[in-house]
Structure 1
């Protein structure tokens, strides 16, 4: 099981609609909102890192979401052993950090 904290930002006038959409996503819980700034704190649960990244993509695709970024990540009870980072998280030679493919479009 993977848990991640995600900061979601929407325009203040859309916060309620975005929160309702987020609460409809599987494995997603909204924990805090700030209607004045449009910030929403979300915790998501996923089976593994690939499901976690897919869930983050779904959050980013919610209408009226300006930004959604994972700010915390925790792996618990993951039986799969990773001998390296998944390809979408690996940095190319000379890069400071990897840019996931879905952000390169």
Structure 2
């Protein structure tokens, strides 16, 4: 699971429409808006990094978006070998 924090900036007059459009995207949730500046804080969840980047591109393509930048990213993709029991421990 990949979680990213994204700052989106739109013209202040578009903040309500942009908020509605962002919340309609899969895996996207608006957490804060600042109507006077047009700033919107978004949290996005995606299964893979590729899906995360594609979703950020969709946000950037929304009408009126002047800026959409990922400012935080965390992922929980534990490599399979990390879950494996080391051979020396399995033999005991």
User: TM-score by structure 2 length?
Assistant: 0.83
Q: RMSD between aligned alpha carbons? A: 1.2
Q: Where does 1:61-80 land on structure 2 (aligned, <5 Å)? A: 61-76=61-76, 78-79=77-78
Question: In structure 2, do the counterparts of structure 1 residues 47 and 40 end up closer, same or farther at CA, with 3 Å as the change threshold?
Answer: same
Q: How does 1:1-105 map to 2 (within 5 A)?
A: 1-76=1-76, 78-79=77-78
Structure 1 residue runs of 4+, over 6 Å off? none
3-state SS in 2 of match to 1:65:
coil
Kindly tell me the number of residue pairs found equivalent between the two proteins.
80
TM-score for the superposition, normalised by structure 1: 0.73
Gaps of 5+ in 2: 81-92
Unaligned segments of structure 1, at least 5 residues: 82-105
Deviation at residue 24 of structure 1 after TM alignment? 0.5
* Larger Rg belongs to: 2
Higher helix residue share: 2
